[in-house]
Structure 1
Amino acid sequence: MKQSRLPHRFGKERGRNKMDKFMDNPWFVRIVAMALALLLFLSIQDLGNKSEGSRPNGMESNEVETITAVPLEKYYDSENLVVTGMPDTIEVTIEGQRRFVEATKRQRDFTVYVDLSDLSIGNHRVPILYKDFSEKLKVKVEPVYVEVSIQEKVTQEFPVEPEFNNNILAEGFEAEQPIVEPNRVRITGGKETLEKISYVKASIDAKGLIEETIKRDTKVTVLDRDLNKLDVFVDPEYVTVTVPVNNPRKTVPIKIKQVGSPPDGTVIKRMEGDIEEVMIFGWTDNLQSVNEIEVEVDVSEVTKDVELDVPIKRPEGINKITPERVKVKIVTDKAKNAETNLSEVPIESKGLADSLDVEFLSPVDGAVSIKVVGNKDELKKAQEGDFEVFMNMQGLRVGDHEVNLEVKGPKDIKWELSTEKAKVRLKEKGTV
């Protein structure tokens, strides 16, 4: 017996019933809901990214930055021409989206330049150009134009003149002619510029006062007649300047000189130094005026043979003496005093009014005698003319007066007047 088969429609109904049961399962609903939610989240996130990436530049806030000290390049025939007047650096201001501004500022992979390759010799006003900036940036250069001078390139050799300020030398020191090595340099620049060269100098300077030879590597400076610095290339750029410095000197004898007198009863027989000459240092002109050095020895407290350590004083214009001290041996002796009389020493009048005459009442002859006491040798030297006896008549009027007598004489000799006072009569000239 053949088995009966279910109709086709009945099979479909059976499958649908199974699907309905599956969809009615609460876990199925939960899983589908979760999948849809995840899909929706991912779709929104992707849409947001696409929207941000496709936002127009104008909708993103701009940033402005100024880049300083940007090297300015120049394009020209550097083998045959020289360009002057250009600044070494300029400022560049950029504006745009922050990420482009920051990247450009950090990397500095752009170029600012002037193109002079098609210009002739002479003066020109040329624009400053730039390249290798992002197209998304606005670029502004400062300055926008530069004034340049294009000249024929010339190289010439010039002597170098050393320059040294003698005011930095210590007192008494002198500088000889500075020595420059090398003493000639090659200067390259525009033909017109080289024609303006008046000075090629190597100036040497130092801190403090100089007392010895100095040697410096010094930059060469090129100047015009108004002492303006010229824009040229110097080879070599530095030269060595040596300034020989010395302290002129010469040897001179010393002379021992007694100052003051020893106490009573003591006589200085002789004084001898342990050296006879010294070396003096100073400027040449000052040295020529010094032929000996006088050493003063104070004997006012010397009562016996003694050796003194005496400093040697420097004359004006001498900055150093070698040695600086001398040992002076002093030999003394006991004084042998004697006395003598000087008679008829006239009395002089000082300060007497021109309209008055003086008449001596006592001493009548207007003269005195002087008893002189001292060392025999000194007394032999003393003469009447070495003593001056006088009266001070300042302010005295007509009439009789008693006036004190005053004496001037040698310091190392004592004296005594025969009278200490004089009596005088003052009267008008022409009266008896």
Structure 2
Amino acid sequence: MKVLRWLAKNFGTLLTAFILAIIVWVSAVIASDPNEEHVLDRPVPIEIIGQDPSLQIMGDVTRNVTLVLRARASVWTTLNKDQHTVTAKVDLSNLGPGEHTVPVQVQITPHLVRQISQDPQQLTLTLDSIASQVFPVNLVVTGNPPVGYQAQTPLVDPIEVTVTGPESQISKLKQLRLSMDITNANQTLIRDEIPLLLDANGQAVSGLTISPESVTVTQPITLLGGYRYVIVRAVSAGQVATGYRVTNIFVTPVGVVVFSSNPELVNNLPGYVETQPIDLAGKEDDFETLLDLNLPTGISVVGDSKVLVQVSIATIETSLAISLPVEVIGLAPGLSASSAPAIVNVILSGPVPVLNTLGPTDVRVVVDLTGYDVGTFQFIPQVNILPERVQKVSILPAMVEVTITITPTPTQTSTPTGTAAPAQTPLPTGTP
């Protein structure tokens, strides 16, 4: 009874203390984890749901929503990184063709997160029915083949394609056009092309797909009667200089069209025509020349009657082994040097004419002793070659041993000298 009376007497005080404790606890929690208001760092993608498969959204529609949220500081990291915490969607259920304005619905998973604002609040979009229609393919051929050739009727496969897309776009479509330029075409052309979808003004219509995606166009190109395409064969005469060889002969053009009023003449050709002989006598370098074709009587060339012939000439490479003394350079005064071995073998490679004319001073094997004093050293000899296009292949041995010594001073030998006896003067002889 006393306890009950005490509680009844102090109930107000106890309730006040309890409320104050809760306020203090809430204040402490808020102080340690305050609410913050920010723009969500990441854009939230808008999910389209409920769209009728037979309808298509026309034009560009905003696909993201920007949000301003209020939440505790500890929650913001999760909101910014986890894409599942905040989502947005637009429901197109039961909507038919036409323009519609629909709300953007935002869902926030974490509790105690308040949405302050969003942009956009709603989307305005247009739905159009998807349709398919078959259209013929219109081929436009421009240009003409060269003289002697003719273009036959082109083939288009398939001749019709199915166009799929919004009805409003298909209603604008008037033709599917393919273009092929056959200017200077001298052989049948086969190409896979994607038709252009054009309206009545020749402008492209977008937002449509075609099936199949491409069309194969075959444009036959054939020769007229009396005309024939033949290969040009280069004919040479003479020999290049000794030690040289022909590496290649290029002819431009590689083939020509010939004509005869008598078709039998061109039909009897072996498939090629020859040039006038190319003079190779004594040639050492690449050269080019214009040559006439050697044509049978009654046959002429359509166009230029000359061809450009380019001849590539190279030297014949070989190798040569020679023995050379090791020369010492850069030796300080008062010193002498000897090499072991004193003679090395050098293998050279280069054009035959150059190697055949090598002189004794054209190739040297040297060892540079600049800065070296008395002692024994190993060196890799240096091969100095004067003629161009000659290269060192190897040197045997690859290293030499050089011994540097002090040059001995020569000693002078003294010659003994004596006193010369005076010459005797002959006595005069008397005259009897």
Give TM class, smaller chain.
Answer: 0.3 to 0.5
The normalised TM-score by structure 1 is 0.36
Task: Select the structure of larger CA radius of gyration.
Answer: 1
Could you tell me the TM-score, scaled by structure 2's length? 0.36
Structure with a larger share of its residues in helix: 1
